[in-house]
Structure 1
Amino acid sequence: MSMQNAIDWPERHLPGTGDNFVSNEVVVRGLTAGAVWRHLVDTSAWESYYDNVAGISFPDGGGPELSGGLAFRFGTFGFPPLDALVVEHQAPAEGVPGRLSWTAKQDGSPEERLDVLHARPVEDLPGGRVRILTQETRIGRPAAEPARQIPNPMLNGHQAWLDGLVRAAAGKERS
């Protein structure tokens, strides 16, 4: 059974209520949610398959594997490093999708403030397929300008992350 609505959205970050919301999804054959999950939660692998992330650190210790309640920092989309916190972490299991989400914040002036919720369910589907969904809501002026661009750079960036994640989980090199 597919859990198409597997993201628990806090009211503040409900899709369509922020300044920028994007949704990307891939369904591929020949991978498992477990294989994808290993590459998704291991931040030491991110830069090997996704060009739009850098400077990953763990200010309170821990890492490089994400876990519930873990604080981390990373740079993306040209922002200074964002302060992130894993708010949901459930590894996939038989009949249960993996669920990972984090908040990310940037403080400062109204022109600089950013509040993000990034969610990623990963689930096995019948027929040896896996579904990977990435959805993100951004609130703040730094999110509003990219939302007006066509194509939305956040949409393209997240698609590149999904494509790289699939390649990494399949053991393929970058193209």
Structure 2
Amino acid sequence: MTTQNAITWPEKYLPGTGDNFVSNEVIGRGVTADRVWHYLTDTSEWEGYYDNVADISFPDGGGPVLKADLAFRFGTFGFPPLDARVVEFQAPADGVPGRLSWTAKQDGPPEERLDVLHAWLVEDLPGDRVRILTQESQIGRPAAALAEERPNPMLNGHQSWLDGLLRAASA
């Protein structure tokens, strides 16, 4: 029997307690967690394989490679650029999954306020396989509106991100 690793959630963003939650996963062959990690953490690569991200910047300097506590901004899903901060960063190692998460926020009146945690887990699996799991928990009226849309744009957008990430890392 095999037990898979899971995302570590801060209480504030616990899935099912906010206004929108999505979970996407892909398992591929012939690519390593280290290779996937490069394409995930180097934001200069994102627009090359994911068409739902734009205007990536680093207001406090640093970047384009993500690291612990790094502040960055990016636009996605039609929102103005969100203020983001890396809150978990652990590169994959032998027997240890890579873990990356960031918060992203949009301030303003209640109808515009958004607060999310987007988490990633990247791990090597037996048989020359890699597993990529991404989950996002969102709080706010814009998140509730997204959750009501069918098909769910967040679910489909994140699947596109995963598929592109795996293609880029496999190339």
Query: Does the pair score TM above 0.5?
Result: yes
Gapped runs of 5+ residues in structure 2? Answer: none
Q: Which residue is 2:128 aligned to?
A: 128
Q: Distance in 2 between matches of 1:4 and 1:111?
A: 38
Deviation at 1:37, TM superposition (A): 0.2
Q: Which residue is 2:80 aligned to?
A: 80
Secondary structure at 2:92 match in 1: coil
Q: Distance in 1 between matches of 2:36 and 2:2?
A: 17
Q: Which residue is 1:105 aligned to?
A: 105
Q: Distance in 2 between matches of 1:151 and 1:24?
A: 14
In the superposition, the TM-score normalised over structure 1's length comes to: 0.95
Q: Distance in 1 between matches of 2:126 and 2:7?
A: 20
Deviation at 1:3, TM superposition (A): 6.2
Deviation at 1:4, TM superposition (A): 2.7
Q: Which residue is 1:9 aligned to?
A: 9
Q: What do the CA deviations read for 1:44-88 (whole angstroms, capped 9, x no partner)?
A: 000000000000000000000000000000000000000000000
Does structure 2 retain, via aligned residues, the 8 Å contact 1:114–1:138? yes
Q: Distance in 2 between matches of 1:108 and 1:82?
A: 12
Q: Is 1:96 equivalent to 2:81 in the alignment?
A: no
Does structure 2 retain, via aligned residues, the 8 Å contact 1:2–1:125? no
Secondary structure at 1:81 match in 2: strand
Q: Distance in 2 between matches of 1:5 and 1:65?
A: 24
Gapped runs of 5+ residues in structure 1? Answer: none
Does structure 2 retain, via aligned residues, the 8 Å contact 1:104–1:117? yes
Q: Distance in 2 between matches of 1:164 and 1:129?
A: 17
Does structure 2 retain, via aligned residues, the 8 Å contact 1:3–1:97? no
Percent identity (aligned): 78
Q: Which residue is 1:116 aligned to?
A: 116
RMSD: 1.2
Deviation at 1:5, TM superposition (A): 3.9
Q: Which residue is 2:167 aligned to?
A: 167
